[in-house]
């Protein structure tokens, strides 16, 4: 019996322990769930706060952008605002001045009102029509002239009515408003460089026509005679030049052509065809003078010891006409001294080693110098 009771007590104790453990586990799970819920709520709150902050930042950025756009628009349209201010002041001043002027000269209130209103309305009607014509790419000259004329007339009436300093101020105000509005609606797209270029072109055309009056007269006749207007001024000028001077080369005339031919003939008669005095020839002269200083001031010394000769640029190439060189230059043996001098020239300046350079060095003909050059080049390139 005592054993049974002990077992019962043990069972009750075990059940109580199990229930306690179950309760503890249940409380732990509930606490874990509450913790997770709290973390989720905190995370949701932080996400919502970040979204709200982002939205507020976006709203502030949008507001700043709107303010910046408004400021930029106001800055860009500042000129327009000032123009409108001048126009409003001019309209009020002109209307009141003309109304008073007409009354002072016997018009009743209705007549004075209609007169002043008609002048101001016509002035700004011309101005608005000119602006519309500008947008539609139609001529605006007549409309702008009408606006300026009426504005000037209104300014005169303003001055006559008030007189003195106030009359001058109101007299200037009316045409000034018209001018400012015209500049706003007809902005110039031409830069200072464009105007300078156009002015230079006009001066060039004027100078050209003044220097060639006969050609200019023929060119104008050709342009006027062109029925379809397809002939350009440049083509007309070329045709006129050909008609007047007989050549398509602009600037060339029979007198200049004759002068050129005569100069060429006189240059050839002087015994020089001009090739020896090219910049390249002068450079070779300087190089040879540095490498091989002459023993005589007239440059008559020859390395081969032959008869002295007076040499010009590049050894006299070009000073003799074809056919005058002795045939022996093509067949005579090459002198050792000439070969040695040419070798020195080649070693000193291979890039400048040419027939003209060798001819100048040796004071011999072009044919002989070419043989020397070929011999030295073959000798050096074969090594």
Share of the chain above pLDDT 90, in %: 6
Question: Are the CB atoms for 357 and 314 separated by under 8 Å?
Answer: yes
Mean of pLDDT values over 253-266: 84
- Greater confidence, 314 or 116? 116
| pLDDT at 344 exceeding the cut of 80 | yes
Q: Which of 85-99, 172-186, 202-216, 289-303 has the lowest mean pLDDT?
A: 289-303
Q: Which of 30-44, 272-286, 303-317 has the lowest mean pLDDT?
A: 303-317
- Greater confidence, 373 or 314? 373
| pLDDT at 321 exceeding the cut of 90 | no
The pLDDT of residue 347? 83
| pLDDT at 303 exceeding the cut of 60 | no
The pLDDT of residue 241? 92
The pLDDT of residue 218? 92
Q: Which two tokens stand for residue 232?
A: 């350009």
| pLDDT at 285 exceeding the cut of 60 | no
Domain boundaries, the chain: 1-67, 78-185, 190-270, 275-382
pLDDT band at 271 (very low <50, low <70, confident <90, very high): very low
pTM over 0.85: no
Q: Rounded distance, CA 210 to CA 7, Å?
A: 142
The pLDDT of residue 1? 56
The pLDDT of residue 247? 87
Q: Which two tokens stand for residue 346?
A: 């080649």
Q: Rounded distance, CA 55 to CA 262, Å?
A: 91
| pLDDT at 143 exceeding the cut of 80 | yes
| pLDDT at 348 exceeding the cut of 60 | yes
| pLDDT at 289 exceeding the cut of 80 | no
The pLDDT of residue 124? 85
| pLDDT at 180 exceeding the cut of 80 | yes
The pLDDT of residue 313? 44
| pLDDT at 112 exceeding the cut of 70 | yes
Question: Are the CB atoms for 99 and 158 separated by under 8 Å?
Answer: no
Query: What own/partner pairs with CB < 8 Å and gap ≥ 24 does 295-299 have?
Result: 299/363
The pLDDT of residue 331? 76
Length of the chain: 383
H or E element in which residue 268 lies: helix 254-269
The mean pLDDT value of the chain amounts to: 79
Q: Rounded distance, CA 43 to CA 1, Å?
A: 62
Give, as one character, the DSSP assignment of residue 301.
Answer: -
CA–CA distances in Å: residue 201 to residues 174, 204, 216, 382: 38, 5, 16, 63
SS3 for 225? helix
H or E element in which residue 192 lies: helix 192-211
The pLDDT of residue 350? 79
Q: Which of 51-60, 64-73, 154-163, 244-253 has the lowest mean pLDDT?
A: 64-73
Q: Rounded distance, CA 127 to CA 87, Å?
A: 12
| pLDDT at 307 exceeding the cut of 50 | no
Question: Are the CB atoms for 315 and 364 separated by under 8 Å?
Answer: yes
pLDDT band at 243 (very low <50, low <70, confident <90, very high): very high
């Amino acid at each position: 019996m005592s054993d049974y009771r002990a077992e019962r007590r043990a069972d009750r104790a075990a059940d109580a322990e199990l229930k306690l453990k179950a309760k503890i586990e249940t409380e732990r799970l509930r606490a874990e769930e509450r913790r997770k819920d709290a973390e989720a709520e905190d995370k949701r709150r932080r996400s919502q706060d970040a979204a709200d902050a982002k939205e507020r930042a976006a709203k502030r950025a949008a507001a700043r952008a709107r303010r910046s756009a408004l400021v930029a628009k106001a800055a860009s349209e500042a000129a327009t605002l000032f123009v409108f201010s001048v126009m409003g002041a001019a309209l009020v001043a002109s209307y009141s001045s003309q109304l008073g002027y007409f009354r002072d000269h016997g018009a009743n209130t209705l007549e004075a009102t209609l007169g002043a209103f008609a002048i101001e309305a016509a002035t700004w009607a011309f101005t608005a029509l000119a602006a519309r014509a500008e947008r539609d790419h139609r001529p605006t000259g007549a409309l702008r002239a009408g606006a300026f004329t009426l504005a000037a007339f209104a300014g005169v009436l303003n001055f006559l009515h008030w007189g003195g300093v106030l009359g001058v101020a109101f007299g200037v105000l009316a045409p000034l408003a018209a001018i400012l509005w015209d500049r706003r609606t007809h902005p110039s797209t031409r830069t200072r460089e464009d105007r300078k270029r156009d002015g230079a072109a006009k001066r060039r055309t004027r100078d050209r026509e003044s220097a060639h009056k006969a050609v200019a007269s023929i060119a104008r006749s050709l342009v006027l005679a062109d029925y379809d207007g397809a002939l350009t001024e440049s083509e007309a000028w070329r045709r006129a030049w050909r008609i007047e001077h007989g050549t398509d080369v602009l600037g060339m005339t029979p007198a200049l052509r004759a002068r050129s031919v005569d100069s060429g003939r006189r240059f050839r008669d002087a015994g020089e065809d001009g090739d020896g005095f090219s910049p390249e020839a002068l450079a070779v002269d300087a190089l040879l003078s540095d490498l091989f200083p002459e023993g005589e001031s007239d440059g008559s010394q020859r390395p081969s010891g032959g008869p002295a000769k007076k040499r010009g640029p590049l050894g006299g190439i070009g000073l003799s006409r074809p056919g005058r060189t002795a045939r022996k230059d093509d067949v005579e043996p090459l002198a050792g001294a000439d070969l040695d001098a040419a070798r020195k020239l080649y070693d000193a300046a291979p890039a400048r080693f040419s027939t003209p350079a060798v001819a100048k060095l040796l004071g011999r003909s072009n044919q002989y110098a070419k043989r020397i050059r070929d011999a030295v080049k073959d000798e050096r390139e074969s090594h």
